[in-house]
Amino acid sequence: MPNIPTPESTIFFVCDLQTRFQPAIYGFDQVVSTANKLVKLAKILGIEVLATTQYGKVFGPVDPGVGLDTLGPLHLGTFDKTLFSMVVSEVVDILTARPHIKHVVIFGIEAQICVLQTTLSLLSLPNPPVPYIIADGTSSSNTFELPILFERLRQEGAVVTTSESLGFQLVGTSSNPKFREFSQYVKDYKDSTTLAGEVLLLGKAPKTEQEASATNEQTA
């Protein structure tokens, strides 16, 4: 029987998406856009979210474009760290208090460092959840790292997926009471989803959402 994520069994981890890293990270704006999309999904489905910052005293807070402030009590906190892994003591306490959590969705930066080490830390827990890595919401300062990282993560036991695929998996069925709202959400994020995929997964040069929208209209 496949281990299928549901809103009740899932938590979202936002990894170190701090504005100060923007100049160094390939497709940073697209990662933030996908993170904001997933925060909106969490709000629709009632999924709890936590975030981390890497040495916030120096590198500052989470980019405001992520939209954590829209979550209300679903935002469990933003925890500063010096570890590369997100699995600091506060995060362990949160997971321990929620034994029903079987799936951890991870997105952010930097792929081959903090995202990888977070995944390995989760898999080493006594009752490890299944890590889900959002490929169109994860990046690095070096683009060549990404395919190598994703293959490594699969070998370790993580699931590498996309924001849209995960969203439909969490909703599960068109009879879900949230499906109408979710369907509109998919339409609202269509252009930004395409742009993030083209930049982060296909390696195309970044362009604005307005340019992407114009291209989609021309080819429709």
Give the pLDDT confidence of 35-58 residue by residue, as tens digits. 999 999 999 999 999 999 999 999
Number of domains present in the structure of the chain: 1
In a domain, 20, yes or no: yes
Note down the domain range covering 61. 7-219
Q: What is the pLDDT of residue 219?
A: 45
Residues 6 or more apart whose CB falls under 8 angstroms from that of 33 comprise: 65, 192, 195, 196, 209
Q: What is the pLDDT of residue 4?
A: 87
Q: What is the pLDDT of residue 51?
A: 98
Residue 205: pLDDT band (50, 70, 90) is confident
In a domain, 33, yes or no: yes
Contact 68, 78 (CB under 8 A): yes
Residue 212 has φ and ψ, to the nearest 5°, of -65, -40
Q: Identify the CATH number of the domain in which residue 35 sits.
A: 3.40.50.850
C-alpha of 152 from chain center? 18
* Listed residue (39, 33, 37, 32) closest to 13, CA to CA: 39
Residue 76: which H helix or E strand, with range? strand 75-81
Largest Cα–Cα separation, the chain: 53
DSSP symbols for 110-175: -IIIIIHHHHHHHHTSSSPPEEEEEEEEE--SSTTHHHHHHHHHHHHT-EEE-HHHHHHHHH--TT
Active-site residue list: 16, 81, 114
In a domain, 15, yes or no: yes
In a domain, 1, yes or no: no
In a domain, 2, yes or no: no
* Listed residue (24, 16, 133) closest to 84, CA to CA: 16
Is the pTM here over 0.75, yes or no? yes
The C-alpha atoms of residue 179 and residue 12 are separated, in whole angstroms, by: 20
In a domain, 211, yes or no: yes
Share of the chain above pLDDT 90, in %: 90
Mean pLDDT within 17-42 = 97
In a domain, 94, yes or no: yes
